[in-house]
Structure 1
Amino acid sequence: MAHIISAQEYRNEETVAEKLAVADFTVFLSPVFEIDGEEYQVVLDGHHSYEAAVQAGVEPEFEVQSVRDNDTIALLEQGRVEDFLELHLIDGEYRHIATGKAVW
């Protein structure tokens, strides 16, 4: 199973509460890619929905996006993993979403 990672640390509690109220637990992921023999997926959207799922004690609904959904996935298809990761840096370093531990 791939490590699910994110570089967005900020969570707006009001947004999380809204997601929780409507049971919006959908998290959009990149396709699986590999670095040094390890498989990863990046949370592209749904950080607040993930937190809402955690608070509700339910499994988030992971949905893998394609290049049709998110054109930055073309970078992965071209083997430009570092460019893809740099593009998705938001407000912190890459961390495992489940544990919060730094990836690299």
Structure 2
Amino acid sequence: MNAPLISSQRHLDRELVARKAERFAVFIVHVADVNMRGKPYRLVIDGHHNLAAAKLAGVDPVWRAPASKWSRIEKSMSPPQFERFLINNLTDSDYYFVDTGEVVQDLLGVEPARTTTEDGK
């Protein structure tokens, strides 16, 4: 999937990033290919500090798929439920484009829960 890289975690411990940039040779970042509100994205799941350290060190990170816990959560929900889960459960900010820091306007706002009655309406 050729999609923009986004995140909802802006907090970075600058000292940790600097230490990693000095000491690490490989910077692993876990991302997931997702669709939200009809658009594809690559979502940073884990490795925000590694991503920042790779940039500081001037090297490309090693992209990895999410851990198995992510797959278990995703499989426990329907695709629309999982999309709502992602939109409604942010880390410490709205989703933003990692390259620019700009907020992803299309992902602002809460997705209301969908409920149905016994007759399916």
Question: Which protein has greater RCO, CA pairs closer than 8 Å, 6+ apart?
Answer: 1
TM-score (norm 2): 0.71
Q: Which runs of 5+ in 2 are unaligned?
A: 106-121
Taking the aligned partners of 2:20 and 2:75, their CA distance within structure 1 comes to: 29
Q: 2:84 aligns with which of 78, 82, 85?
A: 82
**Higher CA-based Rg:** 2
1:102 aligns with 2:85: no
Taking the aligned partners of 1:39 and 1:4, their CA distance within structure 2 comes to: 10
TM-score (norm 1): 0.81
Matched residue of 2:88: which SS?
Answer: helix
Q: Which runs of 5+ in 1 are unaligned?
A: none
- Percent identity (aligned): 30
Q: Which residue pairs with 2:57 in the alignment?
A: 56
CA-to-partner distance for each residue in 1:24-56, whole Å, 9 max, x for gaps? 4111012x2223442112111100000001111
Question: What amino acid maps onto 2:34 in structure 1?
Answer: F
- Structure 1 residues 74 and 15 mapped into 2: Cα distance closer, same or farther (>3 Å)? farther
Count residues in correspondence. Answer: 100
- Runs (4 or more) in structure 1 with deviation over 6 Å come to none
- Structure 1 residues 12 and 24 mapped into 2: Cα distance closer, same or farther (>3 Å)? farther
Question: What amino acid maps onto 2:4 in structure 1?
Answer: H
